[in-house]
Amino acid sequence: MIVIHDYFLSVLMCLITMVCWGSWANTTKLVDGKKWPFQLYYWDYCLGIVLFSVLFAFTLGSFGSEGRSFLQDLGQASLYALFMAFLGGIIFNLGNVLLVAAIDLAGMAVAFPVGVGIALVLGVIVNYIGVPKGNPIILFSGVACIVVAIILTAMAYGRLKIAQLEKGKGLIAAIFAGIIMGWFYRFVASSMSVDFSHPEAGLLTPYTALVFFSLGVFFSSFIWNVVMMKKPISGEAIHGGQYFQGTSKEHLAGILGGVIWSVGMSFSILASNQAGYAISYGLGQGATMIAVIWGVFIWKEFANAPKGTNKLILTMFIFYVVGIASIILANTI
Which tens digits make up the pLDDT trace of 135-165? 899 989 988 998 888 788 778 877 876 655 5
CA 9 to chain centre: 20
Distance (Å) of CA 228 to CA 55, 94, 303 = 29, 10, 30
**Cα 278 to chain center, whole Å?**
14
How high is the pLDDT of residue 164? 58
Task: At 163, give phi and psi (nearest 5°).
Answer: -50, 135
Q: Specify if 28 maps to a domain.
A: yes
The verdict on residue 295 lying in a domain is yes
Residues near 318 by Cβ (< 8 Å), separated by ≥ 6? none
Question: Does residue 130 register a pLDDT over 90?
Answer: no
pLDDT at site 270: 94
Q: Phi, psi (5° rounding) for residue 192? A: -105, 155
pLDDT digits (tens, 9 = 90+) for 282-305: 777 777 778 878 888 888 877 777
In Å, how far are 89, 206, 277 from 132, measured between CA atoms? 23, 19, 9
CA angle 180, 185, 190 (to 5 degrees): 125
DSSP state letter for 192: B
The answer to whether residue 166 scores a pLDDT higher than 80 is no
Three-class SS state of 198: coil
Residue at 219 is within a domain = yes
Provide the H-helix boundaries in the chain: 7-23, 38-58, 70-76, 79-106, 108-111, 117-130, 136-158, 164-181, 184-190, 206-230, 248-275, 277-284, 287-293, 309-329
Please report, in angstroms and rounded to a whole number, the separation of the first and last CA atoms in the chain: 30
- Name which residue leads in pLDDT, 116 or 35: 35
Residue 292 to residue 300: CA distance in whole angstroms: 10
Residue length of the chain: 333
Return d(Cα 209, Cα 207) in angstroms, integer.
5
Give a yes or no: residue 2 inside a domain. no
Per-residue pLDDT, averaged over 186-203, amounts to 94
Question: 127 versus 223: which is more confidently predicted?
Answer: 223
Q: Tell me what percent of the residues of the chain surpass a pLDDT of 70.
A: 97
Secondary structure letter of residue 204 according to DSSP: B
| pLDDT for res 154 | 75
Choose between 277 and 152: higher pLDDT: 152
Q: In angstroms, rounded to a whole number, what is the distance separating the alpha carbons of residues 226 and 287?
A: 27
Count Cβ atoms below 10 Å from residue 307 Cβ, excluding itself: 7
What mean pLDDT comes out for the span 272-290? Answer: 79
Question: Which residues does 1 contact at the CB level (< 8 Å), separation at least 6?
Answer: 60, 61, 62, 63, 64, 66, 67, 68, 69, 70, 73, 196, 205, 207
Compute the distance between CA of residue 45 and CA of residue 261 in angstroms, rounded to an integer: 9
Q: Is residue 1 part of a domain?
A: no
Q: Tell whether 21 is covered by a domain.
A: yes
Asked, for residue 82, whether it belongs to a domain, the answer is yes
Question: Is residue 242 exposed (0-12), middle (13-18) or buried (19+ Cβ within 10 Å)?
Answer: middle
Query: How many domains does the chain divide into?
Result: 1
Q: Span 25-37, mean pLDDT?
A: 88
The amino acid present at 283, given as its one-letter code, is L
Contacts of 245 (CB under 8 A, 6+ apart): none
Check residue 201 and give its pLDDT. Answer: 96
Average of pLDDT values for 26-42? 90
Domain that holds residue 281: 7-329
Q: What integer pLDDT is reported at residue 163 of this predicted model?
A: 52
Residue 6 backbone class (left: φ over 0; alpha: ψ -120 to 50; beta: rest): beta
**pLDDT confidence of residue 292:** 78
Band (pLDDT 50/70/90 cuts) for residue 3 is: very high
